Structure 1
């Protein structure tokens, strides 16, 4: 799992003169509170595939689900590198965050049970999952694989003042 104190750098090339680096604990808090994320995976021919999804920040990693036959699951089976992004669509306020890393399938029953509780706590009973055979299960959706992405590098894009922070883990 990532360090709690990654190397933090404000990139002055893309930052206003009064901008300050966003501290990692604040970025992690925003990841934990964000409701909607966009995941980008790589198709077999290298083209990007991007789709919105729900994610839970838990134990120093972002976790998301996908059906075993969905495009992102098939992509991750070949190329586990991916990026998850969250933020708002306003130009001059808020913070956009991007986490890059390698998606690792979560199969451990105890860990999946913890994550199932985290999903229900964050998103409500509609998103309560049971755990069976190394995956989440629910009706009527069926089986969902769970992936964890621990950041290798992450970026924060502050707006107003504009500032780009990079965290290396």
Structure 2
């Protein structure tokens, strides 16, 4: 888990993709952006190797990004075969802001206490339309049951746009 009790990630400014005035972004600033972001893009891999990308909502909670999906949806089917995913978020402009990329493994969350905590986080962030019950190791809402996945960052990238700079964070590295 990546949180205040975990060692900080190894942080590196990637100079070949950065302007001279750029500095490495602090991970705490990235966490603030991940917490506030409303829309993420999830990239998964189909069983035949073709990519699949879809927008979704997610919450940063206890050191990881958490999202939900119906078990018959393409992303859930892809994760069942290959849990390696990428979540991206940022701003849709060339100048200003910071885009973030989080790489990791999507692990299913089934513990009722953790799911209740995540359900509360969804409602707090996105409002009453995103209220879930917890039942049988899943969220249950208006659209039926939804599997919940957690992605703890293994590697993350920040792309600042003013000055332009690329930061890489590596987690669990010695």
The runs of 4+ residues in structure 1 deviating greater than 2 Å are none
TM-score, normalising length: structure 1? 0.98
Q: 1:59: which partner in 2? A: 62
Which residue of 1 is the match for residue 24 of structure 2? 21
In structure 1, the partner of 2:162 is 160
Residue 68 of structure 1 corresponds to which residue in structure 2? 71
1:83 alignment counterpart: 86
SS in 2 for 1:151: coil
**CA–CA separation in structure 2 for the residues paired with 1:35 and 1:142:** 22
Please state how far the C-alpha of 1:47 moved relative to its aligned partner.
1.1
Is 2:139 the counterpart of 1:143? no
**2:146 is aligned with 1:134:** no
In structure 1, what is the Cα distance between the partners aligned to 2:94 and 2:141? 38
CA deviation after TM superposition for structure 1 residue 45, in Å: 1.1
* 1:116-164 superposed Cα distances (whole Å, 9 cap, x missing partner): 000000000000000000000012x000000000000000000011000
Aligned length: 168
TM, length-normalised to structure 2: 0.95
**Aligned mates of 1:37, 1:151 — CA distance in 2:** 14
Task: Report the counterpart of residue 40 of structure 2 in structure 1.
Answer: 37
Q: Which runs of 5+ in 1 are unaligned?
A: none
